[in-house]
Amino acid sequence: MKYSILAFFLSVSAFSFGQSDQILFKNNEEKEVVLILDNIPTKEDILSYKLPNSEVVMNIPMYKVQRLTLSDGYILYEDSEPIDEVKTTKQELLKNNSIAYDKIELKNGAFIEVLILLEEGQKLELEEELKYKLPNSPYSKSIKLTEVSKVILSNGLVVYNSLNLPEPQKTSNTTNKIEHQNTLVSEKNYPNIEAVVQESETNHHLTDSSSFNNNNSQSYSQTQIICSKEVETLKREIDYRAVVLYEQILKEIEQARTIYSNASFSETETFKKKLFSAIDDEIILLKCNEAFVEAEITIYVDTLGNAIEILDEVEDVKQLRLYTTLRENSIYPYIRNHTFNVVDTLFNYTKQIEDFFDSYQIKINQTNCPQEFEEVLDIARYRFWNIEKLIKSKYTIYKVPIKYSFTSKFQTWIYHNDNVQVKGKGENIKVTDKKILNEFKENLGKKKNGEYQVGICIFSILSDSIQMSISYVKQKYIHYIHIGSSIGSFIPLNNTSYNWKFGEIMPLEGMLIFHRFGLFGGYGLNLTDPYGNTTLEGSYLEKSKYFHGGIYLGLAQYFYFKAGYCQLDSEIAKYSNSIELNRSNFNRKHGFTTGLSLVFPVVHFEGGYNYIFNSPYVSAGLNIPLNK
């Protein structure tokens, strides 16, 4: 018989929603139940189920089941062998006391009314044990054939006759004790505990003296075992105390479940990873806000895995508003919507249950009918079997640390032909981290050799590991090599020692600037012409030679400080009313010059002061920029 996997899921769904499935037993009895299935059952399995509105799990061997029908009408299992109608009819008739029982005659002359359990074609041998059931009892018992004289079926057929049949014993004051052994039904396989509770104890007796005639017209006397009243009293006490202990254990378990237990390390770490993954992007947005927090969130979880209370303990924080926003908008909603794994606890009451049975075993053995306690003890054993070693979920505590820290700092980085270094006080430090290099180059834009101001965010998120990212890159200096020249003019002032005009003395110079340092040098053109003047008055430079040289120092991206040495060799002629009064054949003066230069790619401008001429100057020129 083939079953689709769909049937299994249908059965699980039926259990989940509390709908009733149906079991048809081999005895033609049908029950509405809720099936508990791990897989599609086979004839060799044990079937578990619950009665509607009951939490007690019952078990029954599948060989006793004819058909399993799910709540939607789907037949999950059906035995290929048909129901034994004859046997079923007989059991029903026995249940209604409408037919005679089978009988076992003992060698002491007593006999028992029973239901013989014989397989088809089975022959009883002297060394075997005979299996039977008491009326209305689900229990299978057995007795050695060495103690049996005859076995007589309800139709009078003698299926066993001892060769050495003793004379019937007639005793009026002697109580005969018959021991029986429970051989078939165990606590775990017992299908219906309610049926056992309702089983009549009056069926567990030996019939009083009477005669029974079979086809051979033979009569046998019977001896009754009379149990004292204390037996019934003790049975009721055992049953009552078992129920009390059962309810007491259940109450203790439920109370223990409400006591919180800490989640295991692995469960906590698993939840932390899920939470951190959910809020990581939100925390990244706080980068470079100069914020940090160190807190611990405690989550109280019920047995269903739902968070019922959340406590937050903040130990240290900067910019609390940012953390509060993160907590209320991201952390708490995730926790409330998450289903947690709870702590499963083993409640072991084996010792307590064993002590219970041991305490009554002595009393039972002291009675004259210890066999009468079998069923009440079996009921108690089955009840305790459900809770002897019970695994239940408990209230659970999860403690999750929330830690992050963001700090910013600024550094000067040097970019040169794809090599990146951090400018240090001593040696520069080469940047090798690929992630950081990629972030830097993405923020760099046009890749020009030079120095850049870099904003760095150093942070740790939900762990102690330190990370770093580039927040921004700003150009500081572009490394240029400038090669150029310029021409300018001194500007005469009232305190000038010599008579000349703007544009008559013009410095001509060349320059070479490498990155932030440069050199310059040049000479001066003297275009003064005293003879061209109609009236000469004062001192005039004649036959002059001027040159200067110095250095450039970078102040900013395009600004340079300029300073240098200058020298003037010339003849100085003094005139009064165009009449030359005297002339110095040779005069050399030393001085220095300073100024500021604004150097752009291609063009540059300068201005400064010359201490030989005691006059300011201006110049302009062209240059060739090389980004090297």
Distance CA 55, CA 15 (A): 12
Output the pLDDT for position 518: 94
Output the pLDDT for position 179: 32
Which amino acid, residue 598?
L
Please report which helix (H) or strand (E) contains residue 315, including its range: strand 307-318
Output the pLDDT for position 192: 37
Please report which helix (H) or strand (E) contains residue 544, including its range: strand 538-554
- The alpha carbon of 438 is separated from its chain's Cα centroid by a whole number of angstroms, namely 32
Nearest Cα residue to 331 out of 457, 458, 459, 462: 462
Nearest Cα residue to 231 out of 366, 383, 70: 366
Burial of residue 229 (number of CB atoms within 10 Å: 0-12, 13-18, 19+):
exposed
Output the pLDDT for position 202: 32
Q: Where are the alpha helices (DSSP H) in 169-228?
A: 193-197
Output the pLDDT for position 618: 93
CB atoms within 10 A of CB 195: 12
> Which residues of the chain, if any, have pLDDT below 50?
1-18, 85-99, 164-224
Q: Is 331 left (phi over 0), alpha (psi -120 to 50) or beta?
A: alpha
pLDDT, tens only, 296-310: 999 999 888 899 999
Helix, strand, coil in percent for the chain, rounding step 5: 25, 40, 35
Please report which helix (H) or strand (E) contains residue 248, including its range: helix 229-257
Q: Are 102 and 114 within 8 A, CB to CB? A: yes
For residues 272-308, one letter each, b for 16 or more C-beta atoms within 10 angstroms of the residue's C-beta and e for the rest, the string is beebeebbeeebeebbbeebbbebebebebbbeeebe
- What is the reported pTM? 0.40
Output the pLDDT for position 565: 94
- Collect all residues with Cβ–Cβ distance below 8 Å to 589 and sequence separation of at least 6: 567, 568, 612
